[in-house]
Structure 1
Amino acid sequence: MKIMLMLVGAVLLLVGVVWALQGMNYIGGSFMSGQPQWLTIGIATAIVGVILMAFGNRRRSPRL
């Protein structure tokens, strides 16, 4: 489960960064290029990815 959270989080982070860069028109060639809503969607997606990675990376306390 921990590896799955880290993997999904990393993919979401990468996709979010790409979408944000397209929204800022740094990456061209797409219908998303230069569209401010994709900047917002990309940032939100990247934040969700970071949160998932944080949950996947946290240490679990031993059960007593």
Structure 2
Amino acid sequence: MTLVLRVLGVLALLMGLLWMGQGAGLIMWPASSFMLEQKIWILWGGVLALAGTGLLVLAQRRR
């Protein structure tokens, strides 16, 4: 179970950081993405990254 939490946590954290970077206009990939330079994606990415961090903390505590 902790392995599943860790994998999901890392994926959520990385995806959240990607969304934040795309929303801020720092990551312009893929060029056809609707998320580029849309500030709302900074918020959604932050929420997802925070959730991923929470999953990682939960996985660490379950050890």
With structure 2 as the length reference, what TM-score do the two structures score? Answer: 0.90
Greater C-alpha radius of gyration:
1
Matched to 2:52, the amino acid is: G
Paired residues in the alignment total 60
Tell me, in whole angstroms, the C-alpha distance in 2 between the residues paired with 1:22 and 1:45. Answer: 14
Question: Structure 2: which 5+ runs fail to align?
Answer: none
Aligned to 1:31: 34
Alignment of 1:4-15 (within 5 A): 4-15=4-15
1:21: how far off?
0.2
RMSD: 1.0
Q: Return the TM-score normalized by structure 1.
A: 0.88
Identity of aligned residues (%): 37
Q: Which runs of 4+ in 1 moved over 2 A?
A: none
